[in-house]
Amino acid sequence: MTEEAYNFAYLNEQTKRMIRRAILKGLATPGYQVPFASREMPMPYGWGTGGVQVSAATLTPEDTFKVIDQGADDTTNAVSIRKFVERTAGIATTTKTSDAKVIQTRHRIPEAPLTEDQILIYQVPIPEPLRFLEPRETETRKMHSREDYGLMHVKLYEDIAQHGHIATPYAYPVRVEGRYLMDPSPIPKFDTPKMEMAAIQLFGAGREQRIYALPPYTKVTPLDFEDPFDPSKAPHPCGLCGAEDAYLDEVITDDTGRRMFVCSDTDYCETRREAGHRGKDAA
Amino acid sequence: MSLLLSVQDLRKTYGRLIGCTNICFDLFVGEVIGPVGESGSGKTTLLNCLSGHLPPDQGQVIFDTRSDGPRNTVTMSEPARRMLARTDWAFVQQHARDGLRMNVSAGGNVGERLMALGARHYGDIRLQAEDWLTRVEIDASRIDDRPATFSGGMQQRLQIARNLITGPRLVFRDEPTGGLHVSVQARLLDMLRGLVRDMGLLAMIVTHDLAVVRLLADRLMVIKDGRVIETGLTDQVLDDPQAAHTQLLVSSVLQV
């Protein structure tokens, strides 16, 4: 099939309109999960079908697009979605966070602060933060409408009782503007405080058929007990660029157990190394 | 004595079947009332209508709320009713498994209502949970164990602790001793009587076990086919039953 056979960004215009309506509704009610008629995409569920549909409805021909997967631009998921958008929309792509207008992400927020003219789109596997506590959708909807969120604290209480601390290192539940309880998608707890940002944040769950959104500067509070929220990360600097403030991946380097910690945000790490920063493992 | 609950002309039908109809009664602070009757007589329907689990077809249930005074719970909004169910009311299920979260520790179960009401201090929640476990005669060292590891009687007591922790004013109980061994029943009843006396609870206890209501209830309400056929003080009804059906109920009790 030729590239011309595709409508701009793969989806037809009616579908994009439907998705844009869901996005607008989501932006008007921050944190509320808007149902939408999710389409079959040419990739398996769990690989970002929701994020891709939201991206497709958001992109314009002038935009520059960036995709990250666990912070990295060069992993399978990121590469294939970037190629898909290049082929079906024919727009410019980049790996530079600062050059991108629309950034689709899986499980990370870029380290560099985003600006007001950028949009961050999350791939969400399970949009309902209460799902593992209450399996019935009819019940969780009622709980949301009544702000009946005591159950979530029972879960956190159980964490402390059994592990001595809140053992939820990622997808840490947040409260949006003191109203909706929201799943921030499986980003690490470290990224949660960054969600109060200048950029628009959109969340797409393809299999679960839900879209939700955060307008710029929306107040996002991690649920917590009165002991302070701890955005944990590995206690090391980055081995390549020496960054102390970035979220790190642990990389095993040989069979004898040697390992190094490197930034999970590849663009951030490269930008720092170009600026002359060096970590202890840099060649 | 002040009026806490006033029920007027309550009716609930399931199609052509009558769940309960023409129910009127008043309850005062510190009183324990026991609707009795055979299986299928409408006791549980009545209990569910009063506790907000079932919407009645007609009638009024006026409850004296702690925050806003007397309110009709039938017409109030669902969130307000849920709030009542977490604060002023308690509902103890017949089967403890229905009323507990079986995959959450005992402490989490007891603390849930506190957390739903906004308690956010882990230490405080835990202290109160321990206190309540002790009050219902469960060893505080079992606070982190799951209810699945508890015996039936302990589960029932844990359910009571979980419900009473917010100091409710009205407790609904459905067959409180069902499925328990008699010796366990006796201790549970003892504990319940103590709690009702100490906390000045108003309670409504649904059971078919007349021995249980004789111990616990001040007043009885005999129900047959969804209608109240006789009311009165417990001793009066049990020792001098007037209606034919009540006489049958009382005479059917096995005398040991």
What domains can you pick out in chain B, each with its CATH number?
Answer: 23-254 (3.40.50.300)
Contacts of B112 in chain A (CB under 8 A): 150-151, 154
Average pLDDT estimate for A206-210: 95
CA dihedral angle for residue B65, residue B69, residue B73, residue B78, rounded to 10 degrees: -70
A106-149 pLDDT per residue, tens: 999 999 999 999 999 999 999 999 988 888 999 999 999 988 88
Q: Which amino acid is at B27?
A: L
pTM of the predicted structure, to 2 decimals: 0.78
Is the minimum CB–CB distance between B117 and chain A shorter than 8 Å? yes
Chain B segment 69-108 residues within 8 A of A by beta carbon are 78-79, 82, 86, 101, 104-105, 107-108
Domains and CATH numbers, chain A: 13-222 (3.40.50.11310), 233-283 (no CATH)
pLDDT band at B105 (very low <50, low <70, confident <90, very high): very high
pLDDT band at B255 (very low <50, low <70, confident <90, very high): low
ipTM at complex level:
0.76
Active site residue A239: no
Min Cα separation A234/chain B (Å): 26
CB pair distance less than 8 Å for A154 and B111? yes
Q: Whole-angstrom Cα distance, residue B219 to residue B235?
A: 8
> Does position A1 have pLDDT exceeding 60, yes or no?
no
What are the backbone dihedrals phi and psi of residue B229, each rounded to the nearest 5 degrees, phi first?
-105, -15
A73-86 pLDDT per residue, tens: 999 999 999 999 99
pLDDT band at B69 (very low <50, low <70, confident <90, very high): confident
Contacts of A157 in chain B (CB under 8 A): 107-108, 111, 115, 122, 125
CB pair distance less than 8 Å for B122 and A148? no
Give the residue carrying structure tokens 């720092």.
A272
Q: Whole-angstrom Cα distance, residue B245 to residue B254?
A: 16
A231-240 pLDDT per residue, tens: 778 888 999 9
SS3 letters across chain B:
CCEEEEEEEEEEEECCEEEEEEEEEEEECCCEEEEECCCCCCHHHHHHHHCCCCCCCEEEEEEEECCCEEEECCCCCHHHHHHHHHCCEEEECCCHHHHCCCCCCHHHHHHHHHHHCCCCCHHHHHHHHHHHHHHCCCCHHHCCCCHHHCCHHHHHHHHHHHHHCCCCCEEEEECCCCCCCHHHHHHHHHHHHHHHHHHCCEEEEECCCHHHHHHHCCEEEEEECCEEEEEEEHHHHHHCCCCHHHHHHHHHCCCC
A156-204 pLDDT per residue, tens: 888 888 887 787 888 899 999 999 999 999 999 999 999 999 999 999 9
Contacts of B110 in chain A (CB under 8 A): none
Residue of B213, B144, B212, B199 whose CA lies nearest to B166: B199
What are the backbone dihedrals phi and psi of residue A128, each rounded to the nearest 5 degrees, phi first?
-90, 110
Min Cα separation A223/chain B (Å): 10
Q: Whole-angstrom Cα distance, residue B72 to residue B89?
A: 14
| DSSP 8-state assignment for residue A84 | H
